[in-house]
Each structure stands twice: as structure tokens, then as C-alpha cells.
Structure 1
Amino acid sequence: MLSPLSGSRIRQTLLNALNFSLVLTTAYMFWKGLSIVTDSPSPIVVVLSGSMEPAFQRGDILFLWNRDSHVKVGDIVVYNVKGRNIPIVHRVMRNHVSSSQQLLLTKGDNNALDDVDLYAYKQYYLNREQEVIGAVKGYVPWIGYVTILLSENPWAKYALLGGMGLLAMVQRE
């Protein structure tokens, strides 16, 4: 009678763990490489609201580029507000450029007012170097709904993880 942890079973478990680790590290390296190429800490973002309709819909995935020294009025940028960790996707409405910095005023296409109320307390413009993550250079519609589903519904995360675990157990030899 074979023990439950025979040599081939341990080897198979270690091989599965190694494959899983390789998938995770490959995804991480791809993300970090993309961050270096685009000069953006978050080179891909998902639109979470309808503030940019009709240009972008909720669930669209945006590809960012942060290598340009300045952005122009009309460009769509993604920025983080001080104290909040949710990126905001809006269009540049005004642009103030000096030799040392670029200040931007943004607004969502579907919003009535500019974004001053979204900025940090007593802040009236975004500093291009400090708060802008990147300018939008491309997008893929609707694919980001998976991310929205997982972030807004905790049960979906558990269902996905459970399904992956079940699949891993079924595929064992």
C-alpha cells in the first residue's frame, strides 16, 4: 500500500506550485516592464464611472503613456488625487505651463463642472509631474467589467478562487 504522500505525488505537487509561481512572476514582470516602458506606475486602468461618456464607457480598459513632457488641452489624462488611491480619467480643460512645471485643470466629458471639487483641499490645479499617471493612448471596450465585477462583489472573488482550486484538484493525476 502506498502512503498518501508518495514521491511522485510530492513531485507533482511541487511542480504545480512551481508552475503557479512562474505564472504569477511572469505576470508581475510583464506589468513592471510595461510600467518602465510607459513611465507610468499603472500603465493599464479600468474606467469605473460614466463621467467620460461618450468617449469611454464604464468597463473600458485604457492604455496609458507618460513619456511626453507636456499634455495638451483636450488630451485625456489619468490622475490620482492626494489622499485617495482611485485613478480618475478626465479631459484636460486648461493648461498652465512654466519653465518648471505644468498645471492642469480637468473635467469629465459627462460632468457639468470641472474637477476642482475632486482635488485635494485648497488645490485648484493638478501638477503634471506629481499627480498625473499618464495620458490615454488607446483603449479596449468592456473587457474591464471582469475587474469591476471582482472588486464590487466579494462573492465573485471567492467563486473565482474556488473554481480555480476545483480545477486544480480535478486536473491532478
Structure 2
Amino acid sequence: MSTAQPAALSFRAAVEADVPELVVLVESAYRGDASRAGWTTEADYLDGQRTDPDGVRAVITNEDGVLLVVERAGAIVACCQLEHRGDYVYFGMFAVRPGLQGAGLGKEILAEAERRARETWGAKEMRMTVINVREELIAYYVRRGYLRTGEMSPFPYGDARFGEPRRDDLAFELLVKSL
């Protein structure tokens, strides 16, 4: 009796034709009831959208970065943004299909993103921002070598492009990892 291994992941740069599916992926990972199937949901903190076609398109067309599409057996299962900013790379728009979360996929994708940041841009560190009340998510990144800086930036209250806050104490905390 053998247990079949899932198909290997493949990585490629997103293209315009991917925009609709990537918007659905990001929304499903973070907002609404569908996001509760995974553990990265922000549904308890934010209503409204996480991104929109223009937001995804802006990441795809940014000459200083890439939106990586992660596929398994030809189906999009995840994505993440890598944006070169001087001596570091910003990591964002990380989304894994909710039903696939918790099985090690994120860890594998994060490792590939870090490898690409080093090899493509010679980056010395990876940076990201995480909503400060997301303790479980912050702990996930800390287990992968990211350090909490305590440096906070304000949540864009009043800008519906980032969602509709259900709390008044949201901010973004900067996490950093030396590469």
C-alpha cells in the first residue's frame, strides 16, 4: 500500500490573465466565511475586500517585483508578492487556498520566496507587515525566523481598498528576517 504524494509545486510570474483568479484566491484566504476554512482568515477583524483587480494588476506590473503564482498540477493554489526595495525584499499578498492551509504548503512557498529574494536581487533581508492583532500568524512567521520589530505603521482606516475594520486598534507590525 502506497500513499500518493501530492504533485510538486511550480512557480511562475503572474500575468494579466491570472488577475480574476488571483483576486478570488486572495479574497478566499482572508475575507468572509470561505476564509474560515483556513487559519489565515481576517474575517474577525475586517469586512469588505482584501484586494481588487486593480490592486493585483498593480503588483503584476510593478517593475521592481513579481507576483509569484504557485501551481500544483496546473491549478493555482497560492500566490505571493516579492518587491525589491533596495537591500531588502518586501513579502506580501501571500495567499494559500483555505482548504490547503496547515499542510506545509506555506512553509515551502515562503522558503522559495526567500531563495528568490536572495538570488534574484541579492537581498540581505525579507520584510513584511502583519496586522498586529494576528498573534497566531505572527507566531507562524517567528517560527520561520522572522523577528518582531515592534515598529508599527497605521492601518488605513477609511480606505475601503484595505477592508472595513471591525476594531479600532489595528496597525501593521514590521517583521524582518536576515537572508
Q: Which category describes the TM-score, using the shorter chain as reference length? A: under 0.3
TM-score computed with the length of structure 2 as normaliser: 0.25
TM-score computed with the length of structure 1 as normaliser: 0.26
- Name the one with the larger strand percent: 2
